[in-house]
Structure 1
């Protein structure tokens, strides 16, 4: 046994001594030097953190190329996230100088070449977030190592501007808005121009993101500005059609911020905002978190992308032709709306207290108010049709979560899938539902997957920090990484270097199929017509009069 240990030690030493590594890499801005470390027998990881992909941005201006640097830039530490509110919305963190990206490159016995590239866009309601994600004891949520190593892909994460500095819009040419989307575009463009030097294939870039990041992914493939840059895309719990994804009254909100910081609301407004301390402007973009069933939090998310006639030349639903040759996965968590429902009606998490039926009625009216005076009654009837005369408290609470999940995430995502499939030429379309139950012990026993629960599995946390999870959670992480990276490699989540638990059919095949992702996956995990009745309800009764989701309507006739 002792001799065996010696042999293993020698093998590891030799492997490390001959570690395949890029060393210093040439980019358009200059040379960059990252770090290389061993991740297994004859497996290594090159990691670059903090590479600038644009110059420090001008306030309320589009990003511009970085002027470059001399010598070799040490790219070994994450840079500060873009300036934003802290989690309590009481102070400001981050920096205006924030447009940096991070890269993970898997290596074997020799340096990798031609690898698929996966570029992640974080969520946070367009108000907060960073390319490294939340951090606990130096364990960053968006660390790309597990995905890169297990899927043999390059992973890129980056920062983009959020809040007032990223999405404030005057509604005219003075400050058109969408600066955060332009930052994302700049990062994707930089990757396309430079990733070959890191061993990546610039013609095989997949962008993926969650929540506001999922909506951003959708915006990026719909924008004509990205033509030829993106091969595939994955939207997790967010698409461009979500009710919170587009700000319909940008001028009104910009004037509110201007008044808060003492700026005029006339033609001098934008110039004044640019001169004002950026922390003050950021604080003024605070969200009103005092929500209720009558005033749900989703209606308070006003700092978001706008139809600017440039990056987004028209309504998102009219732009799906731009994604006709892009392979697309989109899906939601089965209780994505829970986190919002908790803010609107806190009693749903109280196991000892009941939730009055009146709360369901009030929420129905609030979510339907833009559709006419009687719409709320119709919505209430639609969601309570199977209640019976005396619904249990569990049924009432779950109905609230279902209603918010459908309105905020599920129905818009289904509409996006139909539109993508309807306009597709070479692009393939795939749909999923993520239903692995929440690990939060304080939640009700009926709880499914809450908003953002999927992220820990996509980034392989049950595999990199196993003591915090059960074996079933490691199964879910393997499944998701396999599907996601196979898709990045081939455009088909079933085909690639990783085996999968069940074949995932295309959405456009018979019955508009999807897979239900959890720890018990088998052939019964392939299902069809996700929440048919409610999707039909929202996309017909509640569709804007000028829109027709032809695929959706045809599917349910």
Structure 2
């Protein structure tokens, strides 16, 4: 028998490897679930299984009702190759006048699994997308950076938004928080099914940015959360931010009802019945009737404190009271913010109107009307004089005697940062650290072109490190246009931070090991800058 020459051997080996790779792809492409088999898509470095339903479609009689677990059995293999459709929403991310997008049947999870080491039990990172409970979707958060690293499975959740997900009349008929209940059901689905994808059900990290971050914190407030997750991450958002759990939800619910043609109703059962008969698109379009300037207020619908009579509620006390009671979960929590988080809404006010005037100048004549909506305290005061006094005090504290102009933008941005993000984080850490390990970082490294510049529609003003400048280095977002060499290094460290926190509970960024905050003590945070990180101990968050 002739000896195989080196060229022939190489060709045979190449075909054998290709055949094995193809076989591995075919094996990994199909997953068996209790409902039947699903077929995903094969990518160069990972498998994707998208748009898997975890709940019955929330349409018809199930609109404005708590989610029901998906029960259908697939006789044929389910096609899990279609990207997830965002839930129906009036989206700030759409620049045209008609901001309607998405669909009502949207309650799905999408799973992304690295090809590396097919038989390994991967830690799991669950992403709850942001959008201030009004807009966004799983498809907005890119998973590719995690897949390039190949050390965790990523799962992304879609949940109901705006009035379809958070409308509430404050009673058992329409208690609210449907979007949060969607998330909770999705987390149960992940816990029960992730092993079928090669994930470790005992190493599940749940994270989010913005509304996703606040959602994570709200779930942390329930002691049962520790049965669903081993670690949690909230990036620029907590349950104590004023835009999260708001008062006045019933007023806005009936306002929306009138806007969509339900009339001057005062009974929640009648409102619910009317809205179930309306076109879903008309309900969501009604959001624009609650906005007074551009997309202000940015969260007219969001989480609420539910009545104790509600069916399977998320929260029946304000988060502050839950934290003080000591009933929150003991899951380890990483919570963070960026130096100019308030640039989210502040940058929006740098836009120019049709006549070339910056929107920020509107505040000079309309401060007492707009400030309570910008900072979400309109419904916390019964007396109009007290409301105006509070608005006046805020302006004096941050603006002194200056007018609202582009030159005074930094003071306004600081007001947004403190009131909408930093103060809530500081209070959350103070209350939560007596219950569980809490870690914190501050990110200071302005992006060249990201969300802040997109909102401002200009690049001639230094905005600082704006909301999302860190998160978009973990999950790529459409508003980030450029990534510098230093940001690629930071991105690598962020990904490693999340992977290790999910895998073994270690929290670090590069050479900096995070220190847990201690009950009653000063704040311990890791300050991440362009080329370095440093652990700091401070009396208050900077």
Quick check: TM above 0.5? yes
- Is residue 103 of structure 2 the alignment partner of residue 102 of structure 1? no
- Is residue 270 of structure 2 the alignment partner of residue 307 of structure 1? no
Give 1:346 shift: 4.5
Give 1:280 shift: 0.9
**Structure 1 residues 227 and 479: alpha-carbon distance in aligned structure 2, compared to 1, 3 A threshold:** closer
Distance 1:401 1:347 in 2: 17
- Is residue 409 of structure 2 the alignment partner of residue 397 of structure 1? yes
Give the one of 61, 84, 89 matched to 1:84.
89
Give 1:32 shift: 1.1
Is the Cα contact below 8 Å between 1:459 and 1:477 reproduced in 2? no
Give 1:456 shift: 2.0
Q: How many matched pairs? A: 496
Give 1:71 shift: 2.3
**Structure 1 residues 29 and 354: alpha-carbon distance in aligned structure 2, compared to 1, 3 A threshold:** closer
Query: Which runs of 5 or more residues in structure 1 are unaligned?
Result: 40-44, 134-141, 534-557
Give 1:9 shift: 6.9
Give 1:82 shift: 1.2
Match of 1:199 in 2: 198
Match of 2:49 in 1: 48
Is the Cα contact below 8 Å between 2:115 and 2:150 reproduced in 1? no
**Structure 1 residues 354 and 59: alpha-carbon distance in aligned structure 2, compared to 1, 3 A threshold:** closer
Give 1:531 shift: 5.1
Distance 1:152 1:219 in 2: 28
Give the one of 71, 78, 81 matched to 1:73.
78
Secondary structure of the residue that 2:245 maps to in structure 1? coil
Q: CA RMSD in A?
A: 3.6
Secondary structure of the residue that 1:256 maps to in structure 2? helix
Secondary structure of the residue that 1:404 maps to in structure 2? helix
Greater alpha carbon shift after TM alignment, 414-423 vs 8-17:
8-17
Query: Which runs of 5 or more residues in structure 2 are unaligned?
Result: 1-6
Secondary structure of the residue that 2:512 maps to in structure 1? coil
Give 1:374 shift: 4.2
Match of 1:26 in 2: 32
Give the one of 466, 484, 495 matched to 1:470.
484
Could you tell me the TM-score, scaled by structure 1's length? 0.79
Is the Cα contact below 8 Å between 1:193 and 1:202 reproduced in 2? yes
Distance 1:123 1:287 in 2: 22
Is the Cα contact below 8 Å between 2:88 and 2:160 reproduced in 1? yes
**Structure 1 residues 143 and 355: alpha-carbon distance in aligned structure 2, compared to 1, 3 A threshold:** closer
Greater alpha carbon shift after TM alignment, 78-87 vs 328-337:
78-87
- Is residue 124 of structure 2 the alignment partner of residue 117 of structure 1? yes
Is the Cα contact below 8 Å between 1:222 and 1:323 reproduced in 2? yes
Give the one of 462, 467, 475 matched to 1:459.
475
Match of 2:169 in 1: 170
Give 1:23 shift: 3.7
Greater alpha carbon shift after TM alignment, 415-424 vs 192-201:
415-424
Match of 1:128 in 2: 135
**Structure 1 residues 154 and 354: alpha-carbon distance in aligned structure 2, compared to 1, 3 A threshold:** closer
Is the Cα contact below 8 Å between 1:330 and 1:413 reproduced in 2? yes
Match of 2:535 in 1: 526
- Equivalent residue runs for 1:204-223 within 5 Å: 204-223=203-222
Could you tell me the TM-score, scaled by structure 2's length? 0.81
1:299-331 deviation per Cα after TM superposition (whole angstroms, max 9, x unaligned):
x62211111132112111122334441010111
Distance 1:461 1:347 in 2: 25
Greater alpha carbon shift after TM alignment, 363-372 vs 399-408:
363-372
**Structure 1 residues 174 and 395: alpha-carbon distance in aligned structure 2, compared to 1, 3 A threshold:** same
Secondary structure of the residue that 1:243 maps to in structure 2? coil
Distance 2:299 2:212 in 1: 15
**Structure 1 residues 235 and 67: alpha-carbon distance in aligned structure 2, compared to 1, 3 A threshold:** same
- Is residue 64 of structure 2 the alignment partner of residue 60 of structure 1? yes
Distance 2:477 2:271 in 1: 46
Match of 1:42 in 2: none
**Structure 1 residues 506 and 395: alpha-carbon distance in aligned structure 2, compared to 1, 3 A threshold:** farther
Distance 1:380 1:357 in 2: 14
Match of 2:4 in 1: none
1:77-124 deviation per Cα after TM superposition (whole angstroms, max 9, x unaligned):
1132211124246253222211111111123244222x2111101111
